Chain A
Amino acid sequence: MKIVSLCLFAIIAFGVPAFAAHHDEYPVSTPPLTEGIFPCSNCHAGMEVNAKRRELKDEHANIKLRHAENDRWCLDCHNPANRDKLKLVNGDTIPFTESYLLCGQCHGNIYRDWKVGIHGKRVGYFKGGKRLYFLCVNCHNPHDPKFKPLKPEPPPTQPERTYGR
């Protein structure tokens, strides 16, 4: 009994303030993680942390960082203690589904627009059903965020010229 109430006390004392400081949550879509790559701890749990800037040869070789690459490296965003989470500048860890908090640290004005649905994309039902907010990373590769040019769909067919022949 005493243990239970102690636990309760602990939750009230520590758990709730942590909750109160919590941010709004959004109905976000699934982060586009490469298939089979998550949870990261499958490989990383027993690995030594290597924060050194280097070319990745064995794994993640496809990642070429083109996102202010001179100023940052993997562990500025990925959490070295638990790789299944991301890390904010203030030390908080967040799941991959809340990565917008991470992006919003630098891109504040975009984050503000995203929260009200002006930047980014929402699909589904805006009323009376499920709505899905695209995460930043659904459109922007976080390691190379510039939006890539697309092949356009075909133009309409030009009307046949029936005059002046």
Chain B
Amino acid sequence: MKMMSMGALAALSLGSSSCTQAQMEEFLQKRFREMTEAEKKEVIQRLEETYLRKYGKKFGISAQPAGYGVLWGYGLDLSRCIGCRRCVYACVKENNQSRINPQLQWIRVVRLKKGSLINLENAEHYYNPETVPEPGFMYMPVQCQHCENPPCVRVCPVKATWKEPDGIVVVDYNWCIGCRYCMAACPYKGRVFNWSEPNIPADELNTDVHYLGNRPRMKNVVEKCTFCVQRVRNGRYPACVEACPTGARKFGNLLDPSSEIRYLIENKRVFRLKEDLNTEPKFYYFFSA
């Protein structure tokens, strides 16, 4: 459907190389254009009918665009995370991820030895002790970092993934061709692939979905964390934030000086993962204690 990406493409060709309107028209040759509201409605209706047939459930698909003056940012308190993986499963449930074969999870909690936080090659994400936290270890959940300069977007040959005006990096599942270039380009392993038809128990389907977010995916497409686009554009905290039993996860608008995220960036010890790669993540790890 490419409703946002067409706009993004037009903006890209206009913005990045200061080309003129005439040059842009020459380049696009009227093959690409932004969808009208009526066309978007039609696509949504078609999808809702498809889902009704496939899952026997009435879905509400939102195409709510980004709000004005919003740039989402995420904070994660490493001094509070205990590695319990509650966020992982809350995310799976909220975002209709395939449960088994393939098992897809958008959050990967890695365990690191205390004192060697930068040695990511020693990270372990299959840890399974009786209880967490284990003495001598730290836990660092990693998910899509929603880079301001996302390498995954740059490599997509069909522009099926792009950065929204509110900073969320999204995928158009109906446009993705499954080449997985983006997965190779992502330095955070933030993307997962539907190697086979997704498996979601019918009674666990979340029918409150967004076109660019948690609507059910199909075989052969890439998916990833969307900061729960279906929730945050309505002013609700992401599912992982609400699931965290230690309150280690923070979320807010980076452009709002009174937001929680701005406070922690200004007042706490903060770092961004693999900052040296110049990806400019909007995911801030911090230490409150």
Residues of A contacting B288 in the complex (Cβ-Cβ under 8 angstroms)? 113, 118-119
Contact with A along B126-169 (1 / 0, CB 8 A): 11111111000000000000000000000000000000000000
Check: A92 CB closer than 8 A to any chain B CB. no
Which A99-129 residues have a C-beta within 8 angstroms of B?
113, 116-129
Most chain B beta carbons < 10 A, residue from A126, A129, A149, A157: A126
Check: A74 CB closer than 8 A to any chain B CB. no
Residues of B contacting A122 in the complex (Cβ-Cβ under 8 angstroms)? 237, 260
Residues of B contacting A152 in the complex (Cβ-Cβ under 8 angstroms)? 83-85, 127-129, 131-132
- A120 and B77 alpha carbons, distance in the complex (Å): 11
Q: How far is the CB of B65 from chain A (nearest CB, A)?
A: 16
Q: How far is the CB of B161 from chain A (nearest CB, A)?
A: 23
Check: B234 CB closer than 8 A to any chain A CB. yes
Check: B105 CB closer than 8 A to any chain A CB. yes
| Given known A124-B237, A126-B237, contact A156–B103 (CB-CB < 8 A) | yes
Residues of B contacting A127 in the complex (Cβ-Cβ under 8 angstroms)? 235
A contacts with B, residue count (CB < 8 A): 28
Cross-interface CB contact of A123 among B77, B133, B234, B242, cutoff 8 Å: B242
The reply to whether B247 and A120 form a contact with Cβ atoms under 8 Å apart is yes
The reply to whether B260 and A116 form a contact with Cβ atoms under 8 Å apart is yes
Check: A164 CB closer than 8 A to any chain B CB. no
Most chain B beta carbons < 10 A, residue from A127, A139, A154: A127
Interface size class of B (residues with CB under 8 A): 35 or more
Check: A158 CB closer than 8 A to any chain B CB. yes
Q: How far is the CB of A50 from chain B (nearest CB, A)?
A: 36
Cross-interface CB contact of B130 among A128, A151, A153, A154, cutoff 8 Å: A151
The reply to whether A128 and B131 form a contact with Cβ atoms under 8 Å apart is no
The reply to whether B132 and A156 form a contact with Cβ atoms under 8 Å apart is no
Closest residue to A121 on the B side, CB-wise? B247
- A123 and B243 alpha carbons, distance in the complex (Å): 9
The reply to whether A139 and B250 form a contact with Cβ atoms under 8 Å apart is no
Contact with A along B241-281 (1 / 0, CB 8 A): 11011110011100000001001100110000000000000
- A45 and B267 alpha carbons, distance in the complex (Å): 46
Check: B88 CB closer than 8 A to any chain A CB. yes
- A78 and B153 alpha carbons, distance in the complex (Å): 58
Check: B225 CB closer than 8 A to any chain A CB. no
Residues of A contacting B86 in the complex (Cβ-Cβ under 8 angstroms)? 153
Closest residue to B104 on the A side, CB-wise? A156
- A152 and B192 alpha carbons, distance in the complex (Å): 22
Q: How far is the CB of A125 from chain B (nearest CB, A)?
A: 5
Q: How far is the CB of A22 from chain B (nearest CB, A)?
A: 22
| Given known A149-B131, A152-B132, contact A157–B103 (CB-CB < 8 A) | yes
Q: How far is the CB of A139 from chain B (nearest CB, A)?
A: 7
- A7 and B127 alpha carbons, distance in the complex (Å): 67
Residues of B contacting A96 in the complex (Cβ-Cβ under 8 angstroms)? none
Check: A91 CB closer than 8 A to any chain B CB. no
Q: How far is the CB of B228 from chain A (nearest CB, A)?
A: 12
Q: Give 11 A-B pairs besides A120-B247, A139-B247 with Cβ atoms closer than 8 angstroms.
A: A116-B260, A122-B260, A123-B241, A124-B237, A125-B234, A126-B235, A126-B251, A128-B235, A147-B246, A151-B84, A155-B85
5 interchain residue pairs of minimum CB distance: A121-B247, A127-B235, A149-B131, A153-B85, A117-B260
Q: B: which residues have CB within 8 A of A? A: 77, 82-86, 88-89, 100, 103, 105, 108, 125-133, 234-237, 241-242, 244-247, 250-252, 260, 263-264, 267-268, 288
